[in-house]
Amino acid sequence: MGIPYYPGCTLSTKAKGYDRSGRAVAEALGLELVELTDWQCCGATFPLMLDDSMALIAPTRVLYQAQQAGERVATLCAICFNVLRRSQALLRRDPEMLERINWFTEQEYHGDVHVVHFLEILRDDLGWEALAERVVRPLAGLRVAPYYGCLLLRPYEEIGLDDPENPVILHNLVRALGAEPVDFPYNIECCGSYLTVKEPQISETLSKDIVASAREHGAQVIITACPLCQFNLDYPQRETEAGRTGNEIPVLYFTQLMAVALGLPEETWGMTEHYVDPRPLFDG
């Protein structure tokens, strides 16, 4: 039986490589992701005012759709994960809010769907040792910098995925794939997030500092679980009229790195749209 899966808007548009590689990896591991039917946007941001019931309608609709499919729903996008997990936590502790939204939407969400990130499924359902046994192309010698960002980890009281100050889940994934995780001090710093729309110079400065930190600590590639982080770190390294600097570092989704290590066909990697092409790392 497959795992109910919410892809979200970005993985259906700008981050199709994340979705493609994620589905391929899940299938290869016997963890097939089954897309929810008739899903819509989760709202993309968790409301800053906790009494804003209108802002909770979108994520509650998604949770209701997931309820029709099973007891849990998996995500790949760190933004969707953050919004849905926090919305679920709020609705569980505020039954009056849940009742109000159910009345408005004319849907009966019970408030008990478990929102999980695919990384949790790999860690808790499959296990790192079992993943390592499935690797057919060990990435020995490849130095990988895990970049967590903000939304995958915080706030800890509602997210609870990993230690928000010293996370290890991506590090353990990298080790299971046979590569070497690279610690660097900016791995939980914010990349600027949605400021890339309104004030792109701010997000570009923040992102360049993150990439520079990873490079200075010997990383050959950066991995992330967030499509916005991937864009913010990758885009400032794009080729300009002046050409490239020669110091670029590819920024991958963790599922893309997994697809390589599991020996999946290159068409499942989804690496053709990156500003810094990662494929030369895996030639030969």
**What are the C-alpha distances in Å from 190 to residues 19, 29, 107, 194, 233?**
23, 32, 36, 11, 11
Percentage of the chain beyond pLDDT 70 is 98
Cα(88)–Cα(61) distance, integer angstroms: 11
Strands 3-6, 33-35: pairing kind? parallel
pLDDT for 242 equals: 67
89, burial (CB in 10 Å: exposed 0-12, middle 13-18, buried 19+): middle
Name the burial class of residue 96, with classes exposed (0-12), middle (13-18) and buried (19+) by CB atoms within 10 angstroms of its CB.
Answer: exposed
- Domains of the chain with bracketed CATH: 3-118 (1.20.1050.140), 128-276 (3.40.50.11810)
Q: Are 28 and 134 in contact (CB under 8 A)?
A: yes
Which residues make beta-bridge pairs with 116?
Answer: 74
Q: What confidence score (pLDDT) does residue 197 get?
A: 82
Residue 51: per-residue pLDDT: 78
Give the containing element (helix H, strand E) for 230: helix 227-234
pTM of the model: 0.96
Let me know: does 188 contact 151? Beta carbons within 8 Å. no
Read off the pLDDT of residues 73-132 as tens digits, 9 standing for 90 and up: 999 999 999 999 999 999 999 999 999 999 999 999 999 999 999 999 999 999 999 999
Average pLDDT on 246-271 reads 97
What pLDDT digit, counting tens, does each position of 14-33 carry? Answer: 999 999 999 999 999 999 99
Q: What is the pLDDT of residues 229-241, one digit of tens each?
A: 999 999 999 988 6
pLDDT at position 48: 80
Answer whether residue 65 shows pLDDT above 80: yes
